[in-house]
Chain A
């Protein structure tokens, strides 16, 4: 684990093996970070699921469980905003080509909902083609920073 501090920002980075255990590790890590960043329980759950889906994609579809390939998961927190990147070393992904899981013809398909859920749960989602692999960046901001809801939650 690598940890760096800048002005009001903390960045933590994990290099993980291409296994399902890594998915659980990333999910657990972001749950703790999101809670510390001021997100409420529901939002923490949604962020954790987005990270889970992104890491599953990296392990399963990107690296295809290849023991020689790694998944890098990074969390960057600045006040009220959490930025997560998940990078694999696979063949690359063109997110534009992923079919819409809500289309009637896809509704009863077994797979293809992961990226849809990530987009539903995060404020901003970007894909970048790397050499090799794909990097997904997911950004979420606290909806009511320092607001009444937050004050109550902190009491």
Chain B
């Protein structure tokens, strides 16, 4: 299953609903291009909804880290929403769980962005 990404805007926050596999190749590229396009358009508050992401490999983890640092370096915020158990475990093993701002609730995630 390839990865899909669709964006919507709620209260000035861009929510990217991702689904499928974020792995080396197509999945990682879709994520990279999506975040890059949003940054180019001037969006600085991005919430990645990983609820329908079924699988992520080390390349996908790297792409999440890269997206996080590039948005932060541009003065923005990138947060994660709805981790599956598999993705949650991976971020914990790699000690990235505390690096990312992670939420299980969209409303509170949106409210957590600085205004």
Contacts and interface: CB of A to CB of B under 8 A. Distances in A.
- What is the predominant secondary structure among interface residues of chain A facing chain B? helix
Given A45-B86, A53-B58, A117-B58, A110 B66 contact: yes
Given A20-B24, A60-B24, A111 B62 contact: yes
Interface range for A: 20 to 34
A23 interface: yes
Interface in A43-61: 45, 49, 52-53, 56, 60
- What is the predominant secondary structure among interface residues of chain B facing chain A? helix
B24 A113 contact: no
A126 B97 CA distance: 28
A98 interface: no
Contact of B61 (A20, A60, A102, A113): A113
Nearest to A104: B95
Interface in A7-58: 20, 23, 45, 49, 52-53, 56
Interface in A88-103: 101-102
Given A20-B24, A45-B86, A120-B93, A113 B99 contact: no
Contacts, number: 44
Given A102-B94, A102-B95, A108-B69, 5 more contacts: A56-B24, A114-B58, A116-B94, A117-B58, A117-B93
Interface residues of B, number: 20
22 contacts: A20-B24, A49-B57, A56-B58, A56-B59, A101-B94, A102-B94, A102-B95, A108-B65, A108-B68, A109-B62, A109-B65, A110-B63, A110-B65, A111-B59, A111-B62, A113-B58, A113-B62, A113-B94, A116-B94, A117-B58, A117-B90, A120-B93
